[in-house]
Amino acid sequence: MTVLSQLEGAVQHAEQKFVATMVGYGCIGLILAFVPYSTEVIVLCRAMIGAATILLLITLLKHRVDVENVKSHLPVMMGSGVCLALNWLCLFASYRLTTVAVGSVLNYLAPILLVIAAPFLFHERISWKKAACVAVAFVGVALVSGVFGGLAEGSNPLGVVLGIAAAFCFAGIVAFNKHLVDVDPLDKTLVQLFLAGIVLIPFAIAAGPAPEEPISVHPAVGVAGLLFVAVVLTGLIYVWYFDAIAVLPVQTVAVLGYLEPVVSVITSALILGEPLTPTGLIGSVLVIGAALAGETWARTPADAAEM
């Protein structure tokens, strides 16, 4: 097997892992609707339980953390950990102040920011086809989320601001992790989740455990939902996420990342009763079609030459 074919295989494997994480993350807003705790406590538990899950996994796999390598990359990991904590805080608060749909579309301004920044931060040339796919996908997300039909009317302005802030923090997570390619996925996931947890402690203490608006569910349901998000959709799946975004080009992360808000909006419409109109269905087709087209074009020799 040639070096080129090995590289192509690694990228394809990373794409598969990234798609799986996007589908998982797309279900988080739905699950959190049944968790009767404050946003701050939820994100603190997510970070710390997720880190504990990674630590358990490291122990079971008898993996040795490369302490020296972690130390050499610690400033970058600290930056990513802070962005991770603030992204969760802003995004989950946006969900509750607006809707899952609106919070998702605002959070996914991040890929647009990354594509714009790619030539300056990562020295990646932007193919016009990739740029077109990102633009089409963003329009699709906007259609799915109903932004064109009344964002201002149906949303708390603070929730909108927090959703935009979440997008900048999301972009920061990806940007920092592009500099952690040579750090083991388990190592960087453990450290970043732990650092995010440290950042979140004062927020959780100040807010207390109860949400601003009580959620009427059985406590056991809330605990189960929180544990699933923290253990599976954070501790386990974040290893795939950090590993994938370190390998994949920013444009690929941007296009495939739009799968998350589509899953969020569709599941919330089917289960939570958030509206999904024919316009939303058209938007879903645009998002998925743009993702597929972007990845197909990215593998053609002509487009590779442009990159």
Tens digits of per-residue pLDDT, 118-167? Answer: 777 767 777 787 788 878 887 877 776 666 655 444 457 788 789 889 98
Average pLDDT over residues 245-258: 78
Looking at per-residue pLDDT, the higher value among 187 and 301 belongs to 187
pLDDT band at 198 (very low <50, low <70, confident <90, very high): very high
What average pLDDT does the chain have? 81
**CB contact set of 69 (below 8 Å; sequence gap of 6+):** 182, 183, 184, 187
**In this model, does residue 108 exceed pLDDT 80?**
no
Residue 83: is its pLDDT beyond 90?
Answer: yes
For 265, the domain range is 14-306
- Does the structure show a pLDDT above 90 at 102? no
Q: 209: which residues sit within 8 A by CB, 6+ positions away?
A: 37, 38, 41
Structural domain count, the chain: 1
Q: Are 243 and 187 in contact (CB under 8 A)?
A: no
Q: Are 288 and 262 in contact (CB under 8 A)?
A: yes
Q: Is residue 209 part of a domain?
A: yes
Measured distance CA(130)–CA(290) in Å, rounded: 9
Residue 5 lies in a domain: no
pLDDT at 215: 72
Burial of 273 (0-12, 13-18, 19+ CB in 10 A): exposed
6: pLDDT strictly greater than 80: no
Domain assignment present for 9: no
In a domain, 3, yes or no: no
Query: Is 6 contained in some domain?
Result: no
Phi-psi region of 146 (alpha: psi -120 to 50; beta: other; left: phi over 0): left
Three-state secondary structure call for residue 209: coil
Domain membership of residue 2 (yes or no) is no
**For residue 1, what pLDDT is reported?**
47
- Residue identified by tokens 């302005």 is 157
Interval 17-44 mean pLDDT: 89
Is there a domain that residue 107 lies in?
yes
- How far apart CA 80 and CA 73 sit, in angstroms, is 11
pLDDT at residue 182 greater than cutoff 80: yes
The share of the chain scoring above pLDDT 70, in percent, equals 85
**Predicted TM-score (pTM) of this structure:** 0.78
pLDDT higher than threshold 90 for residue 45? yes
Q: Is residue 1 included in any domain, yes or no?
A: no
